Structure 1
Amino acid sequence: MEDPLTASLDLLRRLPPQQIAQNLALLTDTLLPDLADDLLSSVDQPLAVKVDSGSREYLVCDYNRDGDSYRSPWTNTYDPPLSDGTEPSPKLRSLEVSMNDAFDVYRDLYYEGGVSSVYLWDTDDGFAGVVLIKKTNDAGASTASWDSVHVFESLERGRQSHYKLTSTVMLYMTKPVAVSSEVAGAEGAGKASGEGEVALGGSMTRQHELSAPLDPTSAASLAQSHIVNIGKIVEDMELKMRNLLGEVYFSKTKDILSALRTQNGLDEQAKHRALQGELVGLLKGRKVAA
């Protein structure tokens, strides 16, 4: 019999990302309350946006949560206020501030909007952190959302640091479409029209490791080295995952749709087959003449 935790994680990976919160709540509150902590710590949920005391938007997730409070990367304070909340060491907090500024520029360049947040925490052999980016687009009745969660670990080894990165991208889009169909009834044939919805969504997780040089001549140069290295590995991973999502979602969807329903009518298909037959006949005639 399959382990309940493995089965639950496998199920959640196959459900729409925009419904992860509801499905996770159903599992943890009703079906598997004993696995609540394991599930909550293992499942990436769509990121939520809050506004701190400085009127700055930031992203909330399990990595900046302490109890029921969330820490802002800009003010370093918890909301609701928490007197003994977990915070990075002063040295790491300085790096966290610089990384938030750097990824805020990155977000503006690549996403032209959205919200980003970076959170760091101390580990025994170095430090770890998460880079979060969320972009939503509500264009009238259409809705789209992109959530990136990049969790990394840095292990310093002399003049080098080894980075381990786990990236998850959650993407979903919904668009209403007009639907019309032929109907037949007691009064005769006619047309019925209405509105349906096309929904496309899913998530993808990838891992990568990289060793990169550090400049330890000063605290500022060391911090800059980490920002450059982490920025590069996150940037490369996002580009790769974006291309993969394009292939998996859009190309595959187009192939399936083409296999199910052709855009050409019967007359067009008959002309195409007749042209194929004519070409085959001409080729056979050339071979006989030769």
Structure 2
Amino acid sequence: MADPFDAALDLLRRLPPSQTQKNLAGIISLVPDLEEELLSSVDVGLTAKHCPKTGRDYLCCDYNRDGDSYRSPWSNDFDPPIDPDDVADLIPRGRIRRMEEALNAAVDVYRELYYEGGVSSAYLWQLDEGFAGVVLVKKGASAGAAAGKGGWDSIHVLEVTEAASKRSAHYKLTSTVILDLGLKSEAVGGLELAGNLTRQQEQNLAIHGLREAEVEQSHVANIGRMVEDMETRMRNLLQEVYFGKAKDVVGDLRSIRPLSEAEQERAAQREVIGKMNR
């Protein structure tokens, strides 16, 4: 008999990518024992919450969740509130919290420059050797997009291992982009393009500075550059390969020009070719 977890993943791969979140909730309702494993293994579109303490929006994921509560990177508090003793290990402090605050500020600027809107969040946590984290960016279609929808969610999970000398660190970055686009109009009918793309990169980068504050800032700069480079490559790949292929397929399958016009153009071409061969 197939393992229930493997069967659930196989089923999600075969269902429409744009309905992953809905289908995931349905599977969890049928098999509640798989909730934790599925939520940590399946990438779904990000959701945003409002931080009541700072008034800023932040993104929710499995890395800032405890039960039904989520930690805001701006206030470092869980909402709904949880007993501090129960989540002491989940709240970053010291250098991890300082780097998290600096990384959120940097990602917020990056998001505004590249996306001109949307929501971003970054979360860090301590490991036995080094630290780990996740950088999240979400951007939806503009309110003026007529009869269309669109969503871009990027999830960058990172793991940092510091060298004994503290002069360099090993960075492992796993990035996933979830894209969901749709258009409905009289000219083209209904069109939907959805899916996700995952890429991984590892780099050894230098750490500059001797003071603790300089080391922390160097980590933030290295992480920011890796995330920016990875997103640029993935955007180009989506543009050149996925959008290009979709355009070719749609162009071969249908045309928005009336068939009579296309037939007249082909007849004119045949007439010109016939006169040239005389």
Instruction: Return the TM-score normalized by structure 1.
Output: 0.84
C-alpha separation in 1, matches of 2:97 and 2:246: 44
Task: Give the aligned partner of residue 152 of structure 1.
Answer: 158
C-alpha separation in 2, matches of 1:88 and 1:13: 35
Q: Does 1:217 align with 2:210?
A: yes
CA apart distance, 1:15: 4.0
Greater share of strand: 1
User: Counterparts in 2 of 1:12-51, with a 5 A limit?
Assistant: 12-13=12-13, 15-30=15-30, 32-51=31-50
C-alpha separation in 2, matches of 1:64 and 1:20: 21
Bigger radius of gyration among the two: 1
Task: Give the aligned partner of residue 258 of structure 1.
Answer: 251
Match of 2:124 among 117, 120, 125: 120
Task: Give the aligned partner of residue 174 of structure 2.
Answer: 166
Q: Does 1:68 align with 2:68?
A: yes
C-alpha separation in 2, matches of 1:2 and 1:94: 46
C-alpha separation in 1, matches of 2:223 and 2:272: 57
Report if the CA contact (8 A) 1:60-1:70 is conserved: yes
C-alpha separation in 2, matches of 1:170 and 1:206: 12
Task: Give the aligned partner of residue 268 of structure 1.
Answer: 265
Task: Give the aligned partner of residue 239 of structure 1.
Answer: 232
CA apart distance, 1:13: 4.1
C-alpha separation in 2, matches of 1:278 and 1:259: 29
Q: State the number of aligned residues.
A: 265
CA apart distance, 1:64: 0.3
Report if the CA contact (8 A) 2:95-2:216 is conserved: no
Report if the CA contact (8 A) 2:171-2:203 is conserved: yes
CA apart distance, 1:232: 0.9
Question: Where does structure 1 lack aligned partners over 5 or more consecutive residues?
Answer: 181-195, 283-290
Q: Percent identity?
A: 52
Report if the CA contact (8 A) 1:129-1:153 is conserved: yes
Task: Please give the root-mean-square deviation of Cα atoms over the aligned residues, in Å.
Answer: 2.2
CA apart distance, 1:274: 4.4
For the residue of structure 1 that corresponds to 2:202, the secondary structure is strand
Question: Where does structure 2 lack aligned partners over 5 or more consecutive residues?
Answer: none
C-alpha separation in 1, matches of 2:195 and 2:226: 23
C-alpha separation in 2, matches of 1:97 and 1:258: 47
C-alpha separation in 2, matches of 1:267 and 1:219: 74
Instruction: Return the TM-score normalized by structure 2.
Output: 0.87
Report if the CA contact (8 A) 1:15-1:202 is conserved: no
C-alpha separation in 2, matches of 1:62 and 1:270: 60
